[in-house]
Amino acid sequence: MTLSVSLTHRFGALTLDVAFEAGPGVTALFGRSGAGKTTVVNAVAGLLRPDRAQISLDGTVFNDATTCLPPHKRRVGYVFQDARLFPHLSVAQNLDYAARFGARPQGRARVIEMLGIGALLERRPATLSGGERQRVALGRALLADPLLLLMDEPLAALDGPRKAEILPYLDRLKSDAGVPILYVSHAVDEVARLADHMVLLADGRVARAGPLFDVMADPAAVPLLGVREAGAVLRARVMHHGDDGLSTLAVGTGTLQLLGVHAPVGAEVRLRVLAQDVLLSREEPRGLSAQNILPVRITAIRSGDGPGAMIAMDAGGDTLLARVTARAVTSLGLEVGQHVHAIIKATSVSQIAISGGTTSAPAPAP
């Protein structure tokens, strides 16, 4: 199932002019505040009528020159930044209210189990934590039996612990919900963990779009993501959990020893590695406290406006990024095609950056 979006809309000083497609899985709509993300999802939901639009979902036209399908006929679930639950109803009643609008009976018990909200059914929204409210809001949206799920900054109002609480449920939702998800965020860590595809908005235009692994690892996208947030996402498989808290993960060009990996042995995970946490060496280093040393090949060098440079490297099929100074590029004699060693500290990959849990594919060769 594919969502096709092409729209133009003027609001304030900004003219939004975007076109993209969102297929199965999670498509992240990413950009700074004011880039037009919420306007796009409101147009898809039917809450806003753009100046010009061609919006359709697998042949069902939502908007064109003569059509503007009303929201209740689009079969689109919408999860807002604030949960917007009915305060006078219990959790169970909120869920049952949504189920009345489903096009076909939906597995209520399955949704409740998937989101871990069985113990909350008799409670009112005012007694729930922020993370619990968002899980109930997700359940309400799913029980309306949507063909498409829109999520507009669903974690933005949550603090760090609450965000960490709900992210595993979003991981599971992505695998089990069975509907395409358009996920709006300006938080790179969320997008890196959850998305399959990424659409970067800047000044009302699509600046970059494509598979998440490609967009995140594109040195040209760094100004849009932010220099401190720039980094690549690697595919990995859990090989072993040590008694000292370190886990061994196989990646395309070797193995990594990391902390905070809770996925079972054999699980596929993704790792977000910040470019500023990667060191480079021309020779294989010895005598370092850092144990993660990967052989890589430089594929691109992009200099910024300041004293820094972004180095893209092939790491056995995935791309790794390193942020170094322009002086380091010169002193090391770095150039495209060169084989070097990337050094990553075990403590530099945060737990929130590690996601996954499937066990179907073979491990990448060390």
What domains sit in the chain, N to C, each tagged with a CATH number? Answer: 3-216 (3.40.50.300), 231-358 (2.40.50.100)
pLDDT, position 104: 55
> pLDDT tens, 261-305?
888 899 889 888 999 999 999 998 888 888 899 999 999 999 877
The predicted structure's pLDDT at residue 108: 83
- Predicted local confidence at residue 160, as pLDDT: 79
What residue ranges in 124-203 does DSSP mark as E strands?
Answer: 148-152, 181-185, 197-202
Q: What is the pTM of this model?
A: 0.85
Q: Is 204 exposed, middle or buried, given 0-12, 13-18 or 19+ CB atoms closer than 10 A?
A: buried
pLDDT value, residue 328: 93
- Which residues sit opposite 79 in a β-bridge? 151
Give me the pLDDT at residue 230, please.
86
Q: State the pLDDT at residue 122.
A: 94
| Per-residue model confidence (pLDDT) at position 365 | 36
Q: What pLDDT was estimated at residue 353? A: 67
Residue numbers in the chain where pLDDT is lower than 50: 358-366
pLDDT of res. 362:
33
Cβ burial 51-89 (10 Å sphere, 16+ → b, else e)? eebbbbbeeeebbeeeeebeeeebbbbbbbbebebeeee
